[in-house]
Amino acid sequence: MKLLRKLQSPVLFLGFIGMLVGCATTEQEFYKRSPVSNALEIPPNLVKAKLDGSFSIPTVGGLGAEKVLLSSNATVSLQSDGRMRWLEISEPTNKIWDHVLAFWENNEIPVLWENKKLGIMQTDWVDNYESEFLRDRFRVRIEVGKTPRTSLLFLTHQGVQKDFYQDGIVNVWEARTYDKELEIEVLGQLLEYFALEPQRVKELIKKAKKQKPGSTLELKNSPPSLVIHATKDKSWSFVAAAVDRMGHLIIERDQLEGVLTIRVSEDEFATDFSIGLVGAFTKRETFKLKFSVIDEKETRIIVLDDEFIEEDSQQARNILIRIKDNL
């Protein structure tokens, strides 16, 4: 089985627009494993995969796709809410975990690390044969659904692009905005892998392409907050996906108390929360997000320190801004 996507040329590459447009017109674009720079950070207690190889990404509904058979009475569906999409599968999480690892392996997509206890696996960086200026990686998070023996599968994308400085003499890799379309396409390939009919996959994908959830930053408040125009449960899922897109790691979930604990990644392409800070500041390893209900359609999120005290700092504001950017 081969995966597929349509490449969208970043606006920043104006100097290379001709080359990029040429890439975008091809029917099939090829990807390979390629480290971006130095070896990426492997978070503690995670297993580094040994898989290596090259792969291509075909269009959803492509012929010859390998499939995995779930239990005879199992169902799989693509759910969406705002900019959030996920798969709901009537199988236990341990079984889905093994299937997803096999999905990456069958497509020769290298998995950089995995942690079954946290329910997270992340691929290595891959770049496009036709466009040397873009690279991508994916993170899958699998959670237990509210219904017994049901799993929820969330997939998020991170991308980097090559930027040029000093008349093209210096070039560096820098983070770029996540690709919503690519997330949907890969979820579609997973649906087909779980033996859903290609035509039904296309219908679900078309339905899933909606706008992101509304949200409002209240940075002048003390403490600053982010208000998401959705229920607490939905806001929880939206923010968890945003954290994945930023490259950081959710290490504790207390949904009853409404607190997510995030470990800040040292990966150079993870979102930097210290940008714009002046003077000395403490480089933090973790932060907490507190969710509280405003009403049945709105949820407020604030930042807590390690002692569960509300934060009224510029760094707390930066965290909320970055979360909103990745919703």
Q: What is the pLDDT of residues 142-176, one digit of tens each?
A: 999 888 888 999 999 988 888 877 666 667 788 88
C-alpha triplet 42, 285, 319: angle, nearest 5°: 110
In terms of pLDDT, which residue wins out, 285 or 22? Answer: 285
121, burial (CB in 10 Å: exposed 0-12, middle 13-18, buried 19+) = buried
The pLDDT assigned to 325 comes to 86
- pTM of the predicted structure, to 2 decimals: 0.61
CA distance 86 to 75: 14
Domain-wise residue ranges, the chain: 14-208, 215-325
pLDDT at 103 over 50: yes
C-beta separation of 111 from 122 below 8 A: yes
Q: How confident is the model at residue 6 (pLDDT cuts 50, 70, 90)?
A: very low
The mean pLDDT value for 48-52 works out to 40
pLDDT at 213 over 50: yes
pLDDT at 97 over 90: yes
The pLDDT assigned to 53 comes to 36
The pLDDT assigned to 73 comes to 74
The pLDDT assigned to 284 comes to 75
For the chain, the average pLDDT equals: 75
C-beta separation of 15 from 32 below 8 A: no
CATH topology of domain 215-325: TATA-Binding Protein (3.30.310)
Q: For residue 191, what is the enclosing H or E element?
A: helix 180-193
Q: What is the pLDDT of residues 107-137, one digit of tens each?
A: 888 999 999 988 999 999 887 655 778 888 9
C-beta separation of 89 from 218 below 8 A: no
Instruction: State phi, psi for 231 to the nearest 5 degrees.
Output: -65, 165
Instruction: State phi, psi for 44 to the nearest 5 degrees.
Output: -60, 150
The pLDDT assigned to 202 comes to 82
In terms of pLDDT, which residue wins out, 266 or 72? Answer: 266
